[in-house]
Amino acid sequence: MPLKKNDSILSSMNSFIGAVNNMDQTVMVPSLLRDIALDEHTEMNPDVDEGDMCAYYHLLKSLRVHIEWGVRATESTRLTRQNSRSPYMASSSEEEEDENDDSLQNQFQYHLSGLQEVLSKLTVQANALTRFYKQRVGI
């Protein structure tokens, strides 16, 4: 199957950011979305058990900020990662290093495709929230 530019992670991120920007420009009064359950709308099927559309609106905006500006790892997260690595677990053979390289490549591809899938779902949900708001205010 030939690869398309639309399949790239950058394209997925740009689509999500564009959808959230459109949502942000459309939703002038986010409080109108308060107390409207997410599960009432078929397109809005997030993996979030609680909250209303207003909270989800703010969540989508914060995710956009994290994508645009990055997420700073807290000191405790870095310490946890450092403590989980043992200096005595070094590879002793080239075969193990090759396996680690393959494993890293597989992990990267797995997480990258997962990120693309999540971004696609979030883009659909941002567009659905925007459409709902437009219907609600009569735009």
> What residues contact residue 35 under an 8 Å CB cut-off, 6+ apart?
52, 54
Cα dihedral sign for 67, 69, 74, 77? positive
Do residues 10 and 61 touch, judged by C-beta distance below 8 A? no
Q: What is the mean pLDDT of the chain?
A: 77
Q: Rounded distance, CA 34 to CA 122, Å?
A: 19
pLDDT of residue 132: 93
- Of residues 8 and 45, more confidence is placed in 8
pLDDT of residue 47: 61
List, for residues 112-133, the tens digit of each pLDDT value. Answer: 889 989 999 999 999 999 999 9
> What residues contact residue 23 under an 8 Å CB cut-off, 6+ apart?
57, 60, 61, 126, 127, 129, 130, 133
pLDDT of residue 86: 47
- Of residues 31 and 84, more confidence is placed in 31
| Model pTM score | 0.63
pLDDT of residue 17: 94
pLDDT at position 75 over 60: no
